[in-house]
């Protein structure tokens, strides 16, 4: 496929919450970039094409699918799943993007200090160094904890918020803000954003503080069950908690390391808010209280 004056952006993870939001944000600025949805599902791609949307099939575990998917692509949004395979996936995709003549890659990373010992943080740091050593122009977007985790992996349990990190706080960022930043960087391209790292953290809250915000938004008390990493491990060993199906064992183990390091104070460097959303988008970020109100029905559905 021939390239056009309007950059064509391959959006990985377009069936997921973040990728779909990036596509939506790109479509909200017509003429700046053309989103090309990507999925490993052949039927999903066929359905998108029937709907008149640009779409390609790509399987990050099968590099043979990369050349066709990257044909005519100018820019790539790279996000990988909750799996240790992200290292091989990123390396082989970056190589293929170089060969295909892609000019700019935006990678979705983590809120690290680039000296991480927690495995999945270290994996992101490794792939970022590989990307930086490639011929591609690049930018990294580093979100802190997704507010949307409260709709999934950190959902309420019996109407309570379980917080396994004592009184330690973490930074929070809304998925729509992540997507808006990613779309802005992709649309404006390397002339403005090459070599940049954008760290995203809107509110710094611990479990008790999150529960207080949720209680106000939902109009009923949401107790915080504040425990330790050792308590969490006992819950897991007792079958009271399990990793999501889309997370492999190595990645799941690394998230427990992050919990322990947060509890021990080794992640205190990340207890900060940043101005990246305001700087890039010219508006206030979505604060936790506003997010909880907007997702009130989804949160209420978790209650017994």
Do residues 223 and 161 make contact, with C-beta atoms less than 8 angstroms apart? yes
The CATH number of the domain holding residue 281 is: 3.40.50.720
Tokens 């290292």 -> residue: 87
Q: What residues are paired with 140 via a beta bridge?
A: 107, 197
Q: Looking at residue 62, what is its pLDDT?
A: 98
pLDDT tens, the chain, 304 aa long: 445 689 999 999 999 999 999 999 999 988 899 999 999 999 999 999 999 999 999 999 999 999 999 999 999 999 999 999 999 999 999 999 999 999 999 999 999 999 999 999 999 999 999 999 999 999 999 999 999 999 999 999 999 999 999 999 999 999 999 999 999 999 999 999 999 999 999 999 999 999 999 999 999 999 999 999 999 999 999 987 888 888 899 999 999 999 999 999 999 999 999 999 999 999 999 999 999 999 999 999 999 9
This prediction's pTM: 0.96
Do residues 265 and 274 make contact, with C-beta atoms less than 8 angstroms apart? no
Do the domain assignments include residue 100? yes
How many domains in the chain?
A: 1
In whole angstroms, give the CA distance from residue 51 to residue 47.
Answer: 6
Do the domain assignments include residue 222? no
Do the domain assignments include residue 262? no
The CA-CA-CA angle for residues 98, 81, 10, to 5°, reads 40
Domain span at residue 194?
Answer: 8-145+172-201+272-285
Residue 81 sits at φ, ψ, to 5 deg, of -85, -175
Q: Looking at residue 3, what is its pLDDT?
A: 52
Q: What residues are paired with 56 via a beta bridge?
A: 38
Q: Looking at residue 4, what is its pLDDT?
A: 60
3-class secondary-structure state, position 56:
strand
- Here the contacts of 288-291 (C-beta below 8 Å, separation 24 or greater) are 288/147, 288/172, 288/202, 288/203, 288/205, 288/210, 288/213, 289/213, 289/216, 289/217, 291/147, 291/174
Q: How many CB atoms lie within 10 A of CB 42?
A: 10
């Amino acid at each position: 496929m021939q390239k056009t004056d309007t950059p064509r952006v391959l959006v990985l993870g377009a069936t997921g919450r973040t990728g779909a939001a990036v596509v939506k944000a790109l479509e909200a600025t017509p003429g700046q970039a053309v989103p090309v949805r990507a999925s490993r599902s052949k039927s999903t791609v066929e359905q998108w094409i029937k709907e008149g949307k640009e779409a390609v099939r790509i399987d990050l575990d099968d590099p043979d699918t990369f050349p066709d998917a990257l044909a005519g692509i100018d820019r790539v949004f790279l996000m990988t799943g909750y799996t240790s395979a992200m290292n091989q996936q990123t390396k082989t995709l970056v190589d293929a993007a170089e060969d295909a003549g892609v000019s700019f890659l935006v990678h979705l990373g983590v809120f690290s200090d680039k000296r991480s010992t927690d495995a999945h943080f270290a994996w992101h740091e490794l792939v970022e160094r590989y990307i930086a050593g490639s011929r591609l122009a690049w930018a990294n977007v580093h979100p802190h904890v997704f507010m949307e985790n409260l709709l999934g992996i950190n959902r309420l349990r019996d109407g309570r918020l379980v917080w396994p990190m004592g009184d330690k706080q973490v930074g929070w960022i809304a998925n729509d803000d992540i997507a808006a930043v990613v779309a802005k960087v992709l649309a404006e391209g390397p002339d403005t954003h090459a070599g940049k790292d954008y760290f995203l953290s809107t509110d710094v809250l611990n479990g008790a503080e999150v529960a207080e915000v949720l209680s106000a938004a939902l109009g009923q008390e949401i107790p915080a069950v504040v425990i330790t990493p050792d308590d969490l491990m006992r819950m897991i060993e007792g079958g009271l908690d399990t990793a999501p199906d889309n997370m492999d064992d190595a990645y799941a183990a690394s998230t427990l390391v992050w919990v322990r390091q947060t509890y021990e104070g080794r992640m205190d460097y990340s207890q900060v808010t940043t101005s990246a959303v305001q700087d890039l988008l010219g508006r206030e970020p979505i604060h936790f209280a506003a997010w909880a109100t907007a997702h009130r029905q989804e949160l209420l559905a978790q209650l017994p």
